[in-house]
């Protein structure tokens, strides 16, 4: 079995996807760009700044870096306001049980997220003491699909990339895990996350045997 699991946060551990969508939709409306949930798939895992740049590019709109920065601050204020009322009830199905199984089997865990709000979110849902390694948007320079966030996580856990399984709901995150040499379980829809090794709806049926099956033809 693998030595570690690295979890994306937004959309894998906590249900923050609707809050991100609502806040980005407000920014898209403000600049007059059509934006829907399908387009939102392209923003998952992507940093705040690059997300705003993406929205502007959809409308061929030019803005200065300072203007883009101001939009991201506005977006984040809307987003933080929504997530500040989150509780442990917003942890996604199967997450707590899966983490318990990993701990019981000596498989290390880490967070690998693009979000600078990671510490706030973990606190809101009561998971702030659960992960000994947390790599988030405050510590990385290259956004997913660059593998930096996951490679840093593996290094801090003291394991090889190939010994890690990444859990991801974003197209960019799956690409990051695969280009980092890791296994990847996509959490979401198989049509969207086609580059993952396997795709699940949520973590309810993911267990140690499921992880082992990812390595069925390999020596670890
Ligand atoms: C990712 C989300 O986890 O973090 C993206 O999927 C988000 O939607 C990115 O833009 C950055 O998050 P934050 O909280 O720093 O704005
Ligand atoms: Mg995500």
Q: pLDDT tens-digit profile of 41-91?
A: 999 999 999 999 999 999 999 999 999 999 999 999 999 999 999 999 999
Confidence of residue 5 (pLDDT cuts 50, 70, 90): very high
CA 65 – ligand 1 centroid, Å: 18
Is residue 176 within 8 A of residue 145, CB to CB? The reply is yes
Residue nearest to atom 14 of ligand 1 (CA): 115
Q: Tokens 């709901």 belong to which residue?
A: 169
β-pairing, 198-200 with 183-187? parallel
Give the separation between CA 85 and CA 24, rounded to whole angstroms: 19
Confidence of residue 179 (pLDDT cuts 50, 70, 90): very high
Say what percent of the chain tops pLDDT 70.
99
Q: Does 10 qualify as catalytic in the annotation? A: yes
pTM of the model: 0.96
End-to-end alpha-carbon separation of the chain, Å?
Answer: 8
Q: Does 100 qualify as catalytic in the annotation? A: no
Is residue 219 pLDDT above 80, yes or no?
A: no
Is residue 5 within 8 A of residue 215, CB to CB? The reply is no
Q: Which ligand is nearest to the CA of 22?
A: 1
What is the number of other CB atoms lying within 10 angstroms of the CB of residue 44?
24
Give the separation between CA 220 and CA 217, rounded to whole angstroms: 10
- Cα Rg, the chain, nearest whole Å: 17
CA 162 – ligand 1 centroid, Å: 25
Mean pLDDT across the chain, nearest whole number?
96
Confidence of residue 1 (pLDDT cuts 50, 70, 90): confident
What does the pLDDT read at residue 216?
87
């Amino acid at each position: 079995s693998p030595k570690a699991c690295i979890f994306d946060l937004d959309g894998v551990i906590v249900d923050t996807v609707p809050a991100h969508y609502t806040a980005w939709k407000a920014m898209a409306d403000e600049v007059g760009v059509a934006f829907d949930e399908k387009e939102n798939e392209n923003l998952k895992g992507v940093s705040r700044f690059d997300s705003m740049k993406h929205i502007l590019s959809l409308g061929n709109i030019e803005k200065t870096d300072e203007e883009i920065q101001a939009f991201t601050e506005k977006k984040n204020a809307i987003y933080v306001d929504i997530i500040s009322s989150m509780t442990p009830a917003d942890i996604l199905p199967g997450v707590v049980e899966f983490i318990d199984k990993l701990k019981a089997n000596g498989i290390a865990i880490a967070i690998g997220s693009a979000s600078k709000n990671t510490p706030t979110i973990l606190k809101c849902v009561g998971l702030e003491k659960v992960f000994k390694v947390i790599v988030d948007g405050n510590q990385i320079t290259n956004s997913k699909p660059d593998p930096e966030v996951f490679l840093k996580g593996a290094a801090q856990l003291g394991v090889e990339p190939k010994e890690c399984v990444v859990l991801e709901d974003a197209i960019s995150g799956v690409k990051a895990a695969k280009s980092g040499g890791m296994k990847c379980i996509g959490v979401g829809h198989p049509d969207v996350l086609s580059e993952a090794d396997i795709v699940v709806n949520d973590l309810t049926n993911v267990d140690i045997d499921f992880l082992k099956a990812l390595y069925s033809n390999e020596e670890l």
